[in-house]
Chain A
Amino acid sequence: MSLAETPSGARDDGELGDAAKLTRKDFESDQDVRWCPGCGDYAILAQVQKLMPELAVARENTVFVSGIGCSSRFPYYMNTYGFHGIHGRAPALATGLKLARPELSVWIVTGDGDGLSIGGNHLIHLLRRNLDVNVLLFNNEIYGLTKGQYSPTSRQGLVTKSSPLGVVDPPFDVASLALGAGATFIARTVDVESRHMLEVLRRAALHKGTSFVEIVQNCPVFNDGVHEELTDRAIKNDHQLLLEHGKPLLFGEGLRKGIRLRADLSPEVVSLDEVDIGQIALHDETSPVMTQLLARLGRQGLPMPLGVLRCVAGVPRYEQAVRAQVVEARAAKGAGDFDALFRSGETWTVG
């Protein structure tokens, strides 16, 4: 236990109580996990179950909410409270839940189709409001449950059942979308990088506000190897840019390559053999300019940033602000009195 801050759902008194005794096993439900063999979702489930006891939030105070899709089966496998909703609407369900019960630890599990296509509107508004929930978006760049149509993150040219001649529409740039919507926490990790994922999930759990985590996930059945650059041991070092707050943006074998900004702030890859490390850009989780820059990487022959792209603390949380108005109204007007309310307009007596 080395958590400096406590996540939502933890006891107010700072004590761990029974939650301290929880183990990973306590978070496994009795349901058979039904993803395809080799699906990246298994690894994500394992890391989430591993993180849970560490957070010391009682199981009954934890709720997993989802929409529809392969990823959205997730709540059934967690031995916590869970709500498997309808397609795209998990953020809406979670918003109502959190407004009614701000003290709960609420996790939204969604995918690229659920969260960015049919539920795109809810997701951007959730981020804008900064509701204190954690969003795990499994991005496999395909519709799995409906058996293989292209999704809003599929790359142009991808041949799928619904794009026999290749996908025409350009994909969403997920991190830019989140930033544009006002997200206070944006992170990216990869299904097979278990240690990295655990660290990112931990950071997400501790962030107060909407934590948005894109988990790059492999669908071996319908879009196998689409993230190979990030997962193939032989080449991944040249494609992963592991972020650390305040540290230079370095990558490649032996971290000998770095990102330098040109005068117009556009990024370029330079070798430490040729330039001084002082010229390499430093990561700053609180800078929207840096987040925007990182969000655009990965798709231009530049490495894909992994880790926390943005983390801004202290931004008001939606459910708190809403509840605060209730408290304010009570302070100003006293607790609601129906008999006074009924008589608040013009009244007259008959008889």
Chain B
Amino acid sequence: MSQPSSSPPSKRLEVVDTVVIRFAGDSGDGMQVTGSKFSTESALAGNDIATLPDYPAEIRAPAGTLAGVSGFQLHFSSKKVLTPGDAPGVLVAMNPAALRANVGDLVAGGILILDGDAFSKSNLAKAGYADHPAKTGELARWRVFEIPMTRLTTKALSDMDLPQRSMVRCRNFFALGLCSWLYQRSTEETQRWIAARFKKTPALVEANTRVLKAGWNFGDTTELFGTRYEVRPASIAPGLYTSITGNQATAWGLMAGAAKAGLQLVYGSYPITPASEILHELCAHKQFGVVTFQAEDEIAAIGAAIGASFGGAIGVTASSGPGLALKTEAIGLAVMTELPLVVVNVQRGGPSTGLPTKTEQADLLQAVYGRNGECPVAVIAASTPTDCFDAAMEAVQTAVKYMTPVILLTDGYLANGAQPWKIPNFADLAGEPASFRTQAEGFQPYLRDPDTLARPWAKPGTPGLEHRIGGIEKDYDSGNISYAPANHERMVRVRAQKVARIADSLAATEVTGSELGEAVVVGWGSTFGAIEEAVERLNAEGLAIGHVHLRWLSPLPKDLGKVLRRFRTVIVAELNLGQLVRLLRDQLTIDATAINKVEGLPFTAAQLTETIRAVTAQRRREERR
């Protein structure tokens, strides 16, 4: 049934490059499953993809209400995919609330597929519609396909001995079957998945498979759709792929980094949105020797991580902004005791409780500067869901090499977003084993490595290296408590120098797009895809614009100032009110033009394209004056 040739000749076939589709329904409607199965089918069809789920903030919002709408967006293309897509061109809405919550995003002329059976009077009322919007002309801008999905679903199952409720619950597979037909996706993999997922209830395997096929056949046999679409395979590096979310990638990267260093991973954590999945993922892999500790609070979580590092493990803790605020004093302790530590901050909208399920990049200054005293910390940011893996590995390795806390910044958008990940061979991953001091002769706890300035890691249990560390200032040589004025300044400076030395081993700053010219857009973290896409579009328009995406925010790469000065204008695009702008001004005395957004949402490539175009045009006018 997956053969395109099965279509009657009356159907037109249109080749398109890129599709952004959003599945939306009630949180009980199985939209996450529908979306992720459709994503897998698309990946198997050879497309490049990126996905983003949109969960309701409330755990169990009343059915049929706007608060209970759950969505899943997929961007699939025959070209390189950098983001989950700006605005959907296709919206599948399983009820009026899902329609109302999402239709505003649908591009004009876009395809709107509705389950007409769900548009009852009471459902319409719950969504705040007085009348069916298809009848009021409200949906005139879109190509509406209203299909009685619920009835077609139950009809396909009429000879089965299933409760009505269970039958209706299959209707998400009707939508999936229909979309699979529309975009010529093979449903074989989905059928395999259904068989495995419902193994224990053969009736449900039968029911869901039947409904999936019914959806496909509905598209194929009715005259409703005159056109099918073809999205050809993208040119993707050959290899074995899997789909991975940012939080999952972070967890795996932490594990892999620890394993490469030959260290036990001790993870202390307190539940918080949107970081909790890292804890869930790690505690499922105890066979790797991972020890997870769900602490009584954020402070205990980081305290345990530091205690574990003192014991010779790699201590890791993760949280979001409010939790990072609570961990601040303990980060200072790790700076002072010069122990390796990784602190992951999955940023969300702030301040205070802010927008727990939404994304933001407003914790940059907190990460770089937000502690008492002169308290330098290394800060690295992941740029895509799969990059969370590499960034987490690098964070562990850096923490161990320099005996320093490293803050890894990700955010809610990366955490929940998923991307295909080319599976590496573990043996091929880079990483150095940690080394512990065992030699008692000449041991001083704060005697530094001349290259990295790291102090030796001497773990309890090592005879002859008994020593005491703590948060009080240390003597530069002996490591004993010292309140001497000159010694304090020397220690403050050497701690700063140590973190600055990380820059020695950073790769040269890479510029994508134009290497020099009119403007460079600087970004960090999850804005990578949107900026890259915008810059590509502007390059295509003939504008000489480059893109620099920062991985290390502390220290900044040594060549950054030189690279940025190759451009007439420096633009910084970030999801805050200009924190990187301040950092660049502070550290490089470069004044940048800020493009900011703090709506709890990522940039769209379209938005950025337009704003960057406007900013550069403005600059040109100013220069002419």
Contact = CB atoms under 8 A, between A and B. Distances in A.
A81 B466 contact: yes
B470 A100 contact: no
Given A89-B299, A351-B237, A81 B460 contact: yes
A89 B330 contact: yes
B300 A94 contact: no
Interface in A57-97: 58-61, 63, 65, 68, 75-76, 78-86, 89, 91-97
Given A96-B304, A333-B287, A338-B259, A60 B241 contact: no
Given A100-B313, A348-B43, A350-B241, 18 more contacts: A83-B468, A96-B305, A96-B313, A97-B311, A100-B266, A101-B311, A101-B312, A104-B460, A104-B461, A122-B296, A125-B295, A326-B289, A326-B290, A336-B287, A347-B241, A347-B242, A348-B241, A349-B238
B460 A61 contact: yes
B460 A345 contact: no
B40 interface: yes
A69 to B, nearest CB: 13
Nearest to A335: B287
Contact of A326 (B241, B287, B332): B287
Given A97-B308, A347-B241, A350-B241, A330 B303 contact: no
A322 B294 CA distance: 11
A80 B466 contact: yes
A39 B469 CA distance: 24
Contacts of B337: 83
Given A84-B469, A336-B289, A94 B307 contact: yes
B237 A83 contact: no
Interface string B386-419: 0000000000000000000000000000000000
Interface string A300-327: 0000000000000000000000110110
* Category for how many chain A residues contact B: 35 or more
Contacts of A279: none
| Shortest beta-carbon contacts, A-B, top 10 | A351-B238, A92-B303, A84-B470, A96-B307, A336-B288, A96-B304, A82-B468, A338-B426, A93-B307, A329-B286
A350 B304 contact: no
A347 B426 contact: no
Interface in B272-301: 285-291, 293, 295-297, 299-301
Contacts of A323: 291
Contacts of A348: 40, 43-44, 240-242
Contact of B463 (A60, A86, A330): A60
B183 interface: no
B162 interface: no
Nearest to A34: B481
Give chain B's interface secondary structure class.
mixed
B616 interface: no
Given A86-B330, A96-B266, A122-B303, A339 B461 contact: no
B304 A342 contact: no
Contacts of B470: 75-76, 82-85
A266 interface: no
Contact of B311 (A29, A82, A100, A346): A100
B121 interface: no
B569 interface: no
Contacts of A246: none
B469 A104 contact: no
Interface in B454-473: 459-472
B243 A346 contact: yes
Given A343-B242, A347-B240, A349-B241, A330 B287 contact: yes
Given A92-B295, A336-B287, A85 B312 contact: no
Given A60-B463, A84-B468, A351-B236, A95 B304 contact: yes
Nearest to A89: B303
Nearest to B425: A339
B244 A345 contact: yes
6 contacts: A81-B468, A86-B471, A93-B304, A95-B293, A99-B307, A345-B244
Given A83-B468, A330-B287, A95 B242 contact: no
Contacts of A85: 303, 306, 333, 470-471
A63 B333 contact: no
B287 A334 contact: yes
B91 interface: no
A60 to B, nearest CB: 5
A341 interface: yes
B307 A65 contact: yes
Contacts of B509: none
A86 B332 CA distance: 10
Nearest to B268: A96
A60 B423 CA distance: 43
Contacts of A339: 425-426
B466 A99 contact: no
Contacts of B255: 336, 338, 341
A346 B329 CA distance: 42
A349 B240 contact: yes
B467 A82 contact: yes
A17 B107 CA distance: 78
Interface string B237-253: 11111111000000010
Interface centre among B252, B333, B460 (most CB of A within 10 A): B460
Interface in A102-149: 103-104, 121-122, 125
Contacts of A326: 286-287, 289-291
A31 interface: yes
A336 B285 contact: yes
Nearest to A95: B304
Interface string A154-181: 0000000000000000000000000000
Interface in B425-442: 425-426
Nearest to A336: B288
Given A75-B468, A351-B237, A125 B252 contact: no
A122 B242 contact: no
B485 interface: no
Nearest to A84: B470
Given A83-B469, A85-B470, A348-B44, A342 B241 contact: no
A133 B311 CA distance: 15
A84 B465 CA distance: 17
A101 B461 contact: yes
A100 B291 contact: yes
B444 interface: no
Contacts of A330: 286-287
